[in-house]
Chain A
Amino acid sequence: MALIQLEEVSKLYGFGDAATLALDEVSLSVDKGEFMAVMGPSGSGKTTLMNIIGLLDKPTHGNYYLDGRLVSRLSSNRQAKLRRDSIGFVFQFYNLLPRLNVLDNVALPLAYKGMTPVRRAKRAGDILELVGMHDREYFYPYQLSGGQAQRAAIARALINNPSIIIADEPTGNLDSQDSRVVMELLSEIHRQGNTILLVTHNPELTRYAGRVIYMYDGTIVGDEKTPLGQMARHARRIFFRKPRTTEDDITAGVSAMLKEIPDRAVTSQTKRRKPRGKKRGLKRRVTRSRR
């Protein structure tokens, strides 16, 4: 049976005219031990999907089964406990608490579980050893490099032996060397049988994944299995895609030009009256076209 089972899950934000459909009847099932990458442009619903799977958010419609159990309609209190015990989050900006040292940061989920401080510290120390951060236990987050902070965050995500690890652009803020270290670590965790969901913009990272889904406008538009170590086919296409002109782009260009014409007329008028008018008009035109 699938570990994660989404049935026609929709998520609607806002009311009336301001309403946006972030997820449109998404169905998805992820098995235990899968390393799944999620790709798609900004605003395509990747993060909303991860928030729903991570129980940070409740779907407007549809059902979500985690390990065979309907969890989408649990109380927020139960969801918090499930988050604590079965889900580990890794964020783009690490999200370590600045006032706590690395050891306390990693042990925090155990504190919410009610474990004694000594056992907490011991377990956190073990996990930190696993991610190679044993010598940084008493450092504060601001004393760490990006890669080290992200490894500490991964340690925190791992501490409760979660069944899912959700990594939302974990390398988005790292240089290539740190990215590599972090991805190798996630890959190692995957090898030990963990389920990992990775949101990324970088097609190169799909090499680590065994499955890639593509999202667009709140729906899953592609779902492919790829052998480990190889970049996904569609991802590569996204990666090497040259900007192409479509009919939509032409329409957009024409309307932009139409807006440009009265603008120019204004510019020539103001030029006659004020010497600084041209400069201002140019500036305005530049910002327009950039948009």
Chain B
Amino acid sequence: MWNGNFKTSLASLRDSRWRTFFTMMGIIIGISSVVTVVSLGEGLKYQITAQINQLGPNVLTVRPGKLTSTGSLSSLYSFLAPSTLTPKDASGLRSISSVRNVAPVEFVTSSVRDGNSQLDNVFVAGSSSNLGTILNQPIAYGGFFSDSDQTDNFAVIGSAVAANLFGEFNPVGETMQIDGQDFVVHGVFTPSSGSLLSLSQADLNSSIFIPTTAAESLTGGRTNILQIFVQLRPGSDVNSSVAQANRILSQNHGGANDFTVLKHSQLLGVSDQLVNAATRFISGIAAISLLVGGIGIMNILLVSVSERTREIGIRKAIGATNRQILNQFLAEGLILSIGGGIIGIGFSYLINLLLRLYSGWKPIISLPVLFLAVSVSVAAGIIFSLAPAFKAARKDPIDALRSS
């Protein structure tokens, strides 16, 4: 029965192939945008996870603001607010016995000049020399600055910055300008697959690190510490260290609870939540186009039903039951939506490829997303063709036969 329906439905869809194509277009756009957004989120999560794992399990992260485990969006806002962390917190943390290294990350600026060219989407941060050991990212040329370099205008740059400013050459020893001051390139990182700071979207490849003292002279002492990395000694108890860190920070802040100390596992959870929230929000918007596509299918099927009233009458006269007519139009709607879904998935693979080739994004299309896309298009097909199919099935055979 279904076999026959699909055959006749395909024939009638082939008859008006332009109409079929444009009807599918709605579903194609809807499915491909949802799949792309979700795959971008997946890719981001993958990068962040890789970075956090690179830091290792014995690195704690201290962030400004209170991160709750449920309100992931409120943590987004706290990220935008001015930081509550101070250099005093960093030195306080250094006094804990189980701590090996402490590295605060201060945001400085986002643009850098080299004579005539300017880069605007970089992440310039001040930090201590310990960051080099904590980041665990190999250096391609030169090296990370040391403690004795704190007052010098040195910079360690990511691979993308190096490529954009200095091209193919080894840039160590070259000069660039940050906020009007000259900085000498001290080291270049190897290309990294992860983004640097778990919650900010900054990419290690487009980051520039300068010594804390130099950073403070640039910002005029108004430090904005995005986070503090705390590396523990190997084999020390993570939980007791977290408790100690909390105690010291809360003393520094006069009892105010405006900071968060995160373990490795919590960091993963928080970043997942944040990305998930953003992905859900954007794919919700994308799903509206899916809704529009579904309504398009309904519209076209309604037109098709009234155009084929006589055909419905003939089919009923020779013995088609209402159910069989219903199935025929349901099959037509399903072909439109599933076909659109499959083409949409193909389309999102194409977008994926283009993004990987021409942008820094690395989207990942996972199996669950594909499953979701297919089931959503099946559901849309059934939901939006039910009304036209019922309309067709309920037609009175005599009236239908009389219509031309």
Contacts and interface: CB of A to CB of B under 8 A. Distances in A.
A84 interface: yes
Interface in B294-352: 310-311, 314-324
A201 interface: no
Interface stretch (A33-41, A107-115, A237-245, A248-256): A107-115
Nearest to A114: B1
Contacts of A57: 398
A56 interface: yes
A202 interface: no
B8 interface: yes
Contact of B318 (A51, A83, A114): A83
B318 A108 contact: yes
A77 B12 contact: no
B353 interface: no
B401 A95 contact: yes
A156 interface: yes
B178 to A, nearest CB: 71
Given A56-B398, A95-B401, A111-B4, A83 B319 contact: yes
B120 to A, nearest CB: 60
A74 interface: no
A77 B394 CA distance: 11
Interface residues of B, number: 23
B1 A83 contact: no
A14 to B, nearest CB: 13
B8 A99 contact: yes
B372 interface: no
Interface in B121-151: none
Chain A residues touching B, range? 20 to 34
B1, B15, B318 — which one has the most chain A CB atoms within 10 A of its CB?
B318
A81 B321 contact: yes
A70 interface: no
Contacts of A108: 315, 318
A49 to B, nearest CB: 13
B318 A89 contact: yes
A108 B15 CA distance: 19
A23 to B, nearest CB: 13
A37 to B, nearest CB: 21
A117 interface: yes
Given A56-B398, A80-B322, A97-B311, A89 B317 contact: yes
A81, A84, A91 interface centre (most CB from chain B within 10 Å): A84
A167 to B, nearest CB: 13
Interface of chain B: mostly helix, strand, loop or mixed: helix
Contacts of A80: 316, 319-322
Given A83-B317, A95-B317, A99-B12, A51 B322 contact: no
Interface in A53-96: 54, 56-57, 76-77, 80-81, 83-85, 89, 91, 95-96
Given A57-B398, A117-B3, A97 B322 contact: no
Contacts of B321: 76-77, 80-81, 112
A84 B319 contact: yes
A112 B319 CA distance: 7
B11 interface: yes
Interface in B159-193: none
Contacts of B397: 56
B202 to A, nearest CB: 60
B392 to A, nearest CB: 14
B177 to A, nearest CB: 73
A261 B104 CA distance: 109
Contact of B320 (A51, A54, A85, A112): A112
Interface string A99-122: 110000000110111100100000
B205 to A, nearest CB: 58
Given A57-B398, A111-B4, A117-B3, A97 B323 contact: no
A117 B4 CA distance: 8
Contacts of B318: 83-84, 89, 108-109, 112, 156
Contacts of A56: 316-317, 397-398, 401
Contacts of B316: 56, 80, 83
A97 B309 CA distance: 12
21 contacts: A51-B398, A54-B317, A56-B397, A56-B401, A77-B323, A80-B321, A83-B317, A85-B319, A95-B401, A97-B314, A99-B11, A99-B15, A100-B11, A108-B318, A111-B4, A112-B318, A112-B319, A112-B320, A112-B321, A112-B324, A160-B319
Given A81-B319, A84-B318, A117-B4, 14 more contacts: A51-B398, A54-B317, A57-B398, A77-B322, A80-B322, A95-B310, A97-B314, A99-B8, A99-B12, A108-B318, A111-B4, A112-B318, A112-B320, A112-B324
Interface of B: 1, 3-4, 8, 11-12, 15, 310-311, 314-324, 397-398, 401
The 7 closest A-B pairs by CB, nearest first: A84-B319, A80-B321, A83-B319, A95-B314, A111-B4, A109-B318, A56-B397
Interface of A: 51, 54, 56-57, 76-77, 80-81, 83-85, 89, 91, 95-97, 99-100, 108-109, 111-114, 117, 156, 160
